[in-house]
Amino acid sequence: MEIRRQQPKTLINRNVHVFDFDATFNPYRGCSHACKYCYARDTHQFVNLDRGHDFEQIIFAKEFTTTQVMDQLNRIPLSQTIAIGTATDPYQPLEGKLRITRQFLQAILVSGHGVSITTKSPLVLRDLDLLTSLAAHQQIVVHISLITNDKVMAHNLEPGTCSPRRRWQIIDGLVAHGVPAALFCAPIIPGWTDDHETLDQMFAIASQKRVSWLMTAPAHFTQPMFEYFSAHLASIDAIRTLSFRRNFADNGTLLPWYRRQLQQTIDRLRNHYHLSAQRAAPRPHRITVQAVFDI
């Protein structure tokens, strides 16, 4: 893997409205978790790299000083929540070495903003000391992303991630320490992870695990990503790929009838398992003690 270190002027993107959040922080560009459906693959093209191998193997790390990040956080109204990890996994393996996400969370303890984290990695449990401090003031929710409980399927589609079983254990670890954890069952992939048995199993386990909420979203692609992902699916199972493709228009958007049908299935499962689609928004909490940087 190649690591390219950057010192970007802007660390936090604002007014992005990703999943209702007001701002996003992505500590890396690229992701060695290598999920084949990942919409962020397109962002590597912005820096003249490809969405395949380069996205997985050339990772940009965004470095910053405490002064720089605090300066930017202080310009964001406390009422705004910040989503960490919308275009990369903030706890991908490189974080074990560089600790950029941890550095950002330490700054959040001082700034007082509400935050969400989205990850597939057990490395998030390394930062339980910070997460529990934030959770004590309802300042955080951690979203664990999982598309299926089938470990072979998960490995085929997300080759750089840990097993489904390990991801349920991450939720256990967070909940046991009082950190709100939600399940991101997304993207739901037509013909691959959208059958009733698969979805029912996800809802059933999530309800046992006491997740705060469960988010679902159907797959959506840009046209080039649709072709990239289709080619990967075809390398696994050509027949099944045909049933995947027939649910999309040529530009990679889902056909309305499929979307409606999936939503009906999801609604039934929500009612059955009493799992909310509504998240409790993380709340801001300002403290005066600066010594949190010593944590």
Contacting residues toward ligand SF4, per CB under 6 A: 31, 33-35, 38, 40, 88-89, 120, 158
Q: Which is nearer to ligand SF4, 35 or 108 (CB)?
A: 35
CB of 223 to ligand SF4, least distance (A): 18
Alpha-carbon distance 67 to 69, whole Å?
A: 6
Six-digit token pair at 152?
């072979």
Q: Which is nearer to ligand SF4, 55 or 203 (CB)?
A: 55
Q: Residue 262: CB partners within 8 Å, gap ≥ 6? A: 188, 190, 194, 218
CA angle, corner 60, sides to 64 and 221, nearest 5?
120
CB of 294 to ligand SF4, least distance (A): 31
Beta bridge partners of 218: 188
CB of 67 to ligand SF4, least distance (A): 28
Q: Which is nearer to ligand SF4, 165 or 246 (CB)?
A: 165
Other C-beta atoms closer than 10 Å to the C-beta of 12 total 20
Q: Which is nearer to ligand SF4, 34 or 135 (CB)?
A: 34
Q: Residue 103: CB partners within 8 Å, gap ≥ 6? A: 64, 66, 69
CB of 184 to ligand SF4, least distance (A): 10
Q: What are residue 82's phi and psi, to 5 degrees?
A: -115, 125
Q: Which is nearer to ligand SF4, 38 or 262 (CB)?
A: 38
CB of 228 to ligand SF4, least distance (A): 13
